[in-house]
Amino acid sequence: MSAYTVRRATVADAAIIATHRASMFRDMGELPVAEVPAFEAATEPWIADRMARGDYLGWLVEYDARVVAGGGVLLSDLWPTPRIRRASRTAHVASMYTEREHRRRGLARLVVRAILDWCAANAIELVTLRASAEGQPVYEQLGFKPDPKTMRLFVAPAPQH
């Protein structure tokens, strides 16, 4: 019987990460199926570039030598805050996805625990994420708290002249 294994992603995994990211948005109803290929094509080089620079780190779950789940963190600089009084890095969990036939087996939890272990070992004190309704209970069980202070604004691009 095969077991699930977690490993760090490499730049060579950018395509599967892009596929997972597109699938995540598709499953949440935010990306129409017809737009998935174009989204993947735009996402793969972006991920590969960030991975090569060390700004995106990914973890993948394999089963029978096939990637079936994964997620990662986008790292950025964090200036001193009232709680963290020194400049540091922050990690934003992103692109969490598990293929349908492997869901409800704790794979997201495995990935997030690997991420949190890495963050602790690398002095990352602030980890954020944006959870889907389906994923929120998993993250809450791992200690994440909803933050009512988080707000978003989509700014329209300036007209081109």
pLDDT in tens, 124-161: 988 999 888 888 899 999 999 887 777 766 677 778 87
- pLDDT score at 131: 87
Average pLDDT over residues 76-85: 87
Q: What is the helix (H) or strand (E) element at residue 61, kind and residue range? A: strand 56-63
* Cβ neighbours around 46 below 10 Å, total: 13
What does the alpha-carbon distance between residue 75 and residue 53 come to, in Å, rounded to a whole number? 10
Q: Does domain 5-141 sit in CATH 3.40.630.30?
A: yes
pLDDT in tens, 50-79: 999 999 999 999 999 999 999 999 999 988
**CB–CB of 67/53 below 8 Å?**
no
Its pTM stands at 0.88
| Domain spans of the chain, in order of start | 5-141
* Token pair listed for 157: 């691009």
- pLDDT score at 1: 46
Q: What is the helix (H) or strand (E) element at residue 69, kind and residue range? A: strand 66-78
Which of 141, 119, 125, 61 has its CA nearest to residue 95?
61
